[in-house]
Amino acid sequence: MIRACIFDLDGVLVDTAHYHFLAWKRLANELGFELTPADNEQLKGVSRMQSLDIVLQLGGITATEHEKEVLANKKNAWFNDFVDRMMPEEIFPGVKQLIRELKAKGVKVGLASSSKNAKTVIQLLGIQNEFDAIVDGTMIVNSKPHPEIFLLTAEKLGIVPEECLVFEDAEAGVEAALAAGMKCVGVGSPLQLNRAHEVVAKTADFKITELAKL
């Protein structure tokens, strides 16, 4: 029985995944190469520094630790330029309603985002008080696909992993949920997220009646 739903943030509650992509693409372009949407799939759900390592590898670029820090800060500043202009209306349609429905059914609701900007984003969306537990990139050591973030969220929620359902748009996130022993709804393409228990095109397409079937 599912007693808690744990939501990823970027690409599941709001399209900040696109802002991450645009910022990484700008960095790649500045470094002299192109970053495609297909390349970007590898970056989803992964921490900032790990994403940078992947980007540099794609461009065949080596950098010192100091240079990497400068590059990561640049990317984060560009990402935050988008976030600063974000409107509460940018939350994906139907998401607030889904969270409300889950809570009304007595299902606990958690947020598990690898992003160190997660708290700022949920505040801007006005949903910071909707969650029974929040775990972000500042609170974990191992980034997805490691299960740490989901296990910590479940612990904070007081629900065993087997009774948790994760909503994820990233391949790394789906793997992390499975590694945690949780059920997972993929948000996006079934080709990309074929390891999830169920895939929906949009978060709000998930029907609460499915909870009993998972």
- Nearest approach in angstroms of CB 170 to Mg ion is 5
Cis peptide before 161 (omega within 30 of 0): no
- For residue 20, state whether it binds ligand BG6 (rule: CB under 6 A): yes
Residues 101 to 130 in contact with ligand BG6, rule: CB under 6 A: 113-117
CB 122 within 8 A of CB 111: yes
Residues 69 to 98 in contact with ligand BG6, rule: CB under 6 A: 76
Check if 84 is active-site. Answer: no
Member of 39, 169, 171, 175 binding Mg ion (CB under 5 A) = 169
What is the helix (H) or strand (E) element at residue 6, kind and residue range?
strand 4-7
Q: How far apart are CA 77 and CA 73, in angstroms?
A: 6
Q: Count of CB atoms within 10 A of residue 188's CB?
A: 23
- Nearest approach in angstroms of CB 94 to ligand BG6 is 20
- For residue 47, state whether it binds ligand BG6 (rule: CB under 6 A): yes
Query: What amino acid is encoded at 53 in this protein?
Result: D
- Nearest approach in angstroms of CB 11 to Mg ion is 4
Token readout for 59 is 């461009």
Long-range contacts formed by 201-206: CB under 8 A, 24+ apart: 202/92, 202/93, 202/94, 203/7, 203/12, 203/13, 203/92, 203/94, 203/95, 203/98, 203/167, 204/92, 204/93, 204/94, 204/95, 204/97, 204/98, 206/98, 206/167
Here's the x/- map for ligand BG6, 153-192, by CB under 6 A: it reads as -----------------x----------------------
- For residue 136, state whether it binds Mg ion (rule: CB under 5 A): no
Compare residues 76 and 192 and give the one whose CB is closer to ligand BG6. Answer: 76
Q: How far apart are CA 120 and CA 117, in angstroms?
A: 5
Member of 14, 25, 45, 134 binding ligand BG6 (CB under 6 A) = 45
- Nearest approach in angstroms of CB 106 to Mg ion is 26
Q: Which stretch binds ligand BG6 (CB under 6 A): 47-55, 58-66, 95-103, 175-183?
A: 47-55
Question: Which of 8, 39, 136, 169 does the annotation list as catalytic?
Answer: 8
Check if 10 is active-site. Answer: yes
Please give the positions annotated as active site: 8, 10
Instruction: Report the interface residues with Mg ion, using CB under 5 A.
Output: 8, 10-11, 169-170
